[in-house]
Amino acid sequence: MVPNWSQNGRELFYLGLDRRVYVAAYTIKGGSFIAEKPRLWSETQMGDLGLLSAFDPAPDGKRVLALCAADDPRAATLMRVALNIDSELRRRVPAK
């Protein structure tokens, strides 16, 4: 259950024991952390990565980047990772 703080500083996302994402709004009052009742953020089960986080919330808190559990463990998964993207963008769109 690795927590992820939202970029807006008002919510805490975490993975529940059922491997689904939950979110709890919180406030700080007098040096105390006060969390509201957590709510289910997504019905989708995340992949089991052990101690690593299977999701990362976007800055707007409306989307997450997630590694989801496969319905069929034999299903092929394609993931593209762009490395050195800044160099490629400079090559394609030269500065003026």
Domain range list for the chain: 4-92
Read off the pLDDT of residues 37-85 as tens digits, 9 standing for 90 and up.
999 988 877 777 766 677 777 777 677 677 776 665 555 555 667 777 7
What are the pLDDT digits (tens) for 1-49? 567 788 777 888 888 888 888 889 998 889 898 889 999 988 877 777 7
Look up residue 41 and give its two tokens.
Answer: 């953020």
pLDDT of residue 59: 74
Q: How far is CA 34 from CA 4, 26, 40, in A?
A: 16, 5, 18
Query: At residue 90, does pLDDT exceed 70?
Result: yes
pTM: 0.60
pLDDT at residue 51, rounded to an integer: 65
**pLDDT range class, residue 91, cuts 50, 70, 90:** confident
Place of tokens 């989307």: 63
